[in-house]
Amino acid sequence: MLPLPDGSCLMTVRAKKSLGQHFLTDPRVCRKIVRFASIRPGDTVIEIGPGTGRLTQSLLAEAERVTALEIDSHLVGLLRAKADHDPAFAGLAVIEADVLKVDWPSLLERAVNHSLGGPEALDQGGSTIIVGNLPYNIATRIVKRMIPCKNRFHSFTFMVQKEVADRICASTGSKGYGSLTLGIAQHFKRIAGFPVATGSFRPPPKVTSAVMKLIPDLQARPPAEAAYFEKLVRRSFQHRRKTLANNLRGFAGVRDWKGRLSHCGIAPQARPQEATLDQYRCLCQML
């Protein structure tokens, strides 16, 4: 049994392990997430995985209109009932869909039309923001699926497993720095947020969560960089303890990788985690 967001009554909601559900219940954490996401009236807000609606209510308190994307049909019915009968949820529109299969251009159009002020709000400085408590088992897949449509959004504020957040936001040379870090950094500015204790959820997860923000990097990149970057980075981190030159031996038919590393300011004996994002971009642009 879980309390409704307004605490008015109880409902029977069983978290589904198959969907990786852990419902956020701490209102203080919800308000902190909303502040971190910098939600303002007039923004188009899309929430991924609203669950029982605790974070949704905090989002509505600032944005006044929220479009929520939920795959669980039971929760969809509950949230729609709240939207119909609870004034605190009057600005909520719920779409039943799988975030990994949704047609983002169509969803975005619906969300903009639902937002306070409609499409004109974007012309007046409103932003399109995604917020979500992502299931641990598909969090990185969701983030990567945002990449093709990143230029349609102002920011993405996600709560994920802390280990994943640490890897995405890792700095050059750190333990977590790797192909996931660079794959996300190639497309987004990464902003670390704050940890969220297991006690803030029902049922409590076995690991700590963390909130992070991604802001799209809209700078145009050379075609060669886009074509080779992911493959290059994956190959580079095949063996973290080997040198970058050894990991890249034979990649893309290049024989003199040490010469190319030197051209990009990378030491001949450097390990893959010691090269910066700009240095990997430099390598790509030479292919």
3-state secondary structure 189-203: EEEEEEEECHHHEEC
75-92: pLDDT as tens digits: 999 999 999 999 999 999
Task: Give the pairing of strands 201-202 and 23-24.
Answer: antiparallel
Flag the least confident range among 89-98, 132-141, 261-270.
Answer: 132-141
Report the percentage of the chain scoring pLDDT > 90.
74
Q: pLDDT band at residue 225, thresholds of 50, 70 and 90?
A: confident
The Cα angle at residue 191 between residues 190 and 197, in degrees rounded to 5: 120
- pLDDT, residue 163, reads 96
Mean pLDDT across the stretch 25-51?
95
d(CA 235, CA 255): 15
Mean pLDDT across the stretch 57-69?
96
Name the residue among 144, 133, 145, 137 with its Cα closest to residue 209: 133
Q: Where are the alpha helices (DSSP H) in the chain?
A: 27-37, 54-63, 73-85, 104-114, 120-123, 139-145, 162-168, 179-185, 223-236, 244-247, 257-263, 277-285
Flag the least confident range among 110-119, 144-153, 205-214.
Answer: 110-119
Instruction: Judge contact between 235 and 251, C-beta under 8 A.
Output: yes
- pLDDT, residue 203, reads 86
Q: Which one has a higher pLDDT value, 156 or 5?
A: 156
Mean pLDDT across the stretch 4-18?
54
d(CA 149, CA 129): 13
CATH assignment of 2-216? 3.40.50.150
Q: Is 40 helix (H, G, I), strand (E, B) or coil?
A: coil
Mean pLDDT across the stretch 86-108?
94
Residue 17 is given by DSSP the state G
- Domains of the chain, by residue range, sit at 2-216, 223-285
Instruction: Judge contact between 211 and 217, C-beta under 8 A.
Output: no
- Residue 210: left (phi > 0), alpha (psi -120 to 50), or beta? beta
On the question of a cis peptide bond just before residue 87, with omega within 30 degrees of 0, the verdict is no
Task: Give the pairing of strands 128-133 and 44-48.
Answer: parallel
- pLDDT, residue 7, reads 47
Q: pLDDT band at residue 15, thresholds of 50, 70 and 90?
A: low
- pLDDT, residue 273, reads 97
Flag the least confident range among 66-70, 121-125, 228-232.
Answer: 121-125
Mean pLDDT across the stretch 245-262?
93
- pLDDT, residue 170, reads 98
- pLDDT, residue 42, reads 84
Instruction: Judge contact between 115 and 42, C-beta under 8 A.
Output: yes
Which of 143-147, 222-226, 244-248 tops mean pLDDT?
244-248
Name the residue among 210, 203, 220 with its Cα closest to residue 151: 220
172-195: pLDDT as tens digits: 999 999 999 999 999 999 999 999
Within 8 A by CB and 6+ apart from 14, the residues are none
Domain at 223-285: CATH architecture = Orthogonal Bundle (1.10)
Average pLDDT, the chain: 90
Question: What single letter denotes the amino acid at residue 75?
Answer: L
